């Protein structure tokens, strides 16, 4: 056997959502910042993302992260996030997996009961506070880059559905946010397939009808996900709500989605439904939970923005080497529209 590439992979999930962490085997990635490295990976090394996430090695619900040394003197480590259709600037579930793997595999030293880290994501520095006990990371709380709303309660025309009211918000990824009940959904697990089909149509209409551009970095991808939200309710002194994010190319996030939670915090703050410091429990379609909170308010270009903090837990599920045999016909992997909903049936995208 002679592999032309060998990656060291730690399989992990945060609240049910996959977040593989690639700890070695990628080699040099050019660029000063993690955003530069993200661009370099996308333009020169995208075969790695396809190898890891496309079939036959990956699946539509897989995500991955490449851990890289950071040039920022404030950062303990950097990482670039790889998803099935994009390289997001930020991801909550993936960041929780990265912090957990860095500490639980000893790449960075763990201090009990609390380890503070600063990680450089493509979106910028992320401060992370990990609760640790007996060698296990029991909670990761990250302070995300600012989240803000591009549009609130804006009507769009969706093929076959008519007029749908959406909020468009950025939380590290850009979301078209809709009330699930407006479209007849309760966010039950058996609705996942129908939510994905409808979510993709809403996203396509939003992309076509509502322009977005991140004011500080126009290279950040535009609207790529639809977030279906359940009603916001009070339980004691906490706000609680259910949601599901339909991640491109059309599958439900298994976790409550950290960037989706950040975007929702921006929306409910703008609508006067939450104040800084109040605890917001966001529940996924699988029943898993993240805790959200607005740390402070800020501005991003012309927009009022929230600085969101998101907390959740991750678990390592495997540790192995993934290889590429030079005679393997699927060097760039493939996708099939049975599970890769919006992909061409047949072969690689
Ligand atoms: O937690 C999040 O932000 C995400 N989970 C998978 C898709 C998003 O990156």
Does the annotation count 91 as an active-site position? yes
- The mean of the pLDDT values for the chain is 96
| Structure confidence by residue, pLDDT tens digits, 175-200 | 999 999 999 999 999 999 999 999 99
Model-wide pTM > 0.95: yes
Phi-psi region at 15: left, alpha or beta (left = phi > 0; alpha = psi -120 to 50): left
Return the percentage of the chain with pLDDT > 90, whole number: 97
**Domain co-membership, 124 together with 245:** no
Domain assignment of residue 111, yes or no: yes
Domain assignment of residue 18, yes or no: yes
Residue 13 sits in which domain range? 5-142+315-324
The confidence score (pLDDT) of residue 179 equals 98
Closest ligand 1 atom number to CA of residue 290:
1
| Structure confidence by residue, pLDDT tens digits, 283-333 | 999 999 999 999 999 999 999 999 999 999 999 999 999 999 999 999 999
Residue 322 and residue 258: Cα distance in Å, rounded? 27
| Structure confidence by residue, pLDDT tens digits, 2-18 | 999 999 999 999 999 99
Query: H or E segment at 163?
Result: strand 162-170
Domain assignment of residue 119, yes or no: yes
**Domain co-membership, 81 together with 153:** no
The confidence score (pLDDT) of residue 303 equals 98
The confidence score (pLDDT) of residue 342 equals 72
Pocket of ligand 1 contains residue 270 by CB under 6 Å:
no
Instruction: Please give the average per-residue pLDDT across 143-148, as a whole number.
Output: 98
The confidence score (pLDDT) of residue 349 equals 34
**Domain co-membership, 166 together with 291:** yes
Q: Is the CB of residue 99 less than 8 Å from the CB of residue 132?
A: no
Cα 259 to averaged position of ligand 1 atoms, centre (Å):
6
Domain assignment of residue 340, yes or no: no
Neighbours of 270 (CB within 10 A): 19
Pocket of ligand 1 contains residue 19 by CB under 6 Å:
no
ipTM: 0.99
**Domain co-membership, 155 together with 273:** yes
Nearest Cα to Cα of residue 131 among 118, 109, 114: 114
**Domain co-membership, 122 together with 236:** no
Domain assignment of residue 138, yes or no: yes
Question: Which residue's C-alpha comes closest to atom 8 of ligand 1?
Answer: 91
Nearest Cα to Cα of residue 273 among 227, 230, 232: 232
Is the pLDDT score of 345 beyond 50?
A: no
Cα 281 to averaged position of ligand 1 atoms, centre (Å):
16
| Structure confidence by residue, pLDDT tens digits, 16-66 | 999 999 999 999 999 999 999 999 999 999 999 999 999 999 999 999 999
**Domain co-membership, 59 together with 137:** yes
**Domain co-membership, 162 together with 282:** yes
Return the percentage of the chain with pLDDT > 70, whole number: 98
Query: H or E segment at 280?
Result: strand 279-283
What CATH number corresponds to the domain at position 37? Answer: 3.10.310.10
The one catalytic residue in 91, 248, 255, 343 is 91
Domain assignment of residue 347, yes or no: no
The confidence score (pLDDT) of residue 316 equals 98
Q: Structural domain tally of the chain? A: 2
Q: Is the CB of residue 22 less than 8 Å from the CB of residue 7?
A: yes
Neighbours of 136 (CB within 10 A): 15
The confidence score (pLDDT) of residue 343 equals 64
The confidence score (pLDDT) of residue 34 equals 98
Pocket of ligand 1 contains residue 258 by CB under 6 Å:
yes
The confidence score (pLDDT) of residue 341 equals 86
- In this prediction, residue 1 has a pLDDT band, given cuts at 50, 70 and 90, of confident
Provide the H-helix boundaries in 143-288. Answer: 192-209, 258-270
**Domain co-membership, 151 together with 290:** yes
Domain assignment of residue 197, yes or no: yes
**Domain co-membership, 199 together with 102:** no
Instruction: Please give the average per-residue pLDDT across 227-242, as a whole number.
Output: 97
**Domain co-membership, 20 together with 159:** no
Cα 2 to averaged position of ligand 1 atoms, centre (Å):
35
**Domain co-membership, 217 together with 115:** no
Is the pLDDT score of 280 beyond 50?
A: yes
Angstrom distances, CA of residue 250 to CA of 17, 57, 261, 305, 312? 15, 19, 18, 28, 24
**Domain co-membership, 120 together with 230:** no
Instruction: Please give the average per-residue pLDDT across 160-184, as a whole number.
Output: 97
Q: Is the CB of residue 19 less than 8 Å from the CB of residue 314?
A: yes
Closest ligand 1 atom number to CA of residue 171:
3
Domain assignment of residue 348, yes or no: no
- In this prediction, residue 348 has a pLDDT band, given cuts at 50, 70 and 90, of very low
């Amino acid at each position: 056997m002679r592999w032309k590439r060998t990656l060291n992979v730690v399989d992990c999930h945060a609240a049910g959502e996959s977040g593989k962490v690639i700890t070695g085997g990628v080699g040099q990635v050019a660029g000063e910042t993690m955003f530069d490295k993200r661009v370099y990976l996308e333009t020169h090394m995208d075969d790695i993302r396809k190898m890891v996430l496309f079939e036959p090695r990956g699946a539509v619900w897989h995500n991955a992260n490449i851990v890289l040394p950071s040039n920022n003197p404030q950062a303990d480590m950097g990482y670039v996030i790889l998803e099935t259709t994009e390289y997001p600037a930020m991801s909550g579930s993936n960041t929780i997996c990265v912090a957990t793997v860095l500490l639980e595999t000893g790449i960075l030293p763990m201090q009990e009961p609390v380890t503070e880290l600063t990680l450089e994501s493509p979106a910028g520095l992320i401060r992370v506070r990990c609760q640790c006990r007996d060698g296990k990371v029991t909670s990761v709380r990250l302070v995300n880059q600012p989240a803000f709303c591009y549009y609130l309660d804006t009507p769009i025309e969706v093929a076959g559905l008519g007029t749908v009211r959406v909020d468009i918000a950025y939380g590290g990824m850009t979301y078209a946010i809709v009330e699930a009940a407006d479209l007849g959904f309760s966010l039950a697990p058996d609705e996942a397939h129908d939510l994905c089909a409808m979510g993709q149509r809403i996203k396509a209409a939003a992309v076509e009808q509502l322009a977005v551009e991140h004011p500080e970095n126009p290279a950040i991808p535009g609207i790529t996900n639809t977030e279906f939200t359940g009603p916001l309710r009070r339980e004691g002194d906490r706000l609680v709500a259910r949601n599901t994010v339909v991640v491109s190319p059309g599958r439900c996030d298994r976790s409550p989605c950290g960037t989706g939670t950040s975007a929702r915090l921006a929306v409910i703050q703008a609508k006067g439904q939450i104040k800084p410091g109040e605890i917001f429990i966001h529940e996924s379609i699988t029943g898993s939970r993240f805790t959200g909170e607005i740390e402070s308010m800020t501005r991003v270009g012309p927009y009022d923005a929230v600085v969101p903090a998101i907390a959740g837990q991750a678990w390592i599920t495997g540790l192995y080497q993934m290889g590429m045999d030079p005679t393997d016909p699927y060097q760039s992997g493939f996708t099939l529209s049975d599970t890769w909903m919006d992909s061409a049936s047949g072969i690689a995208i």
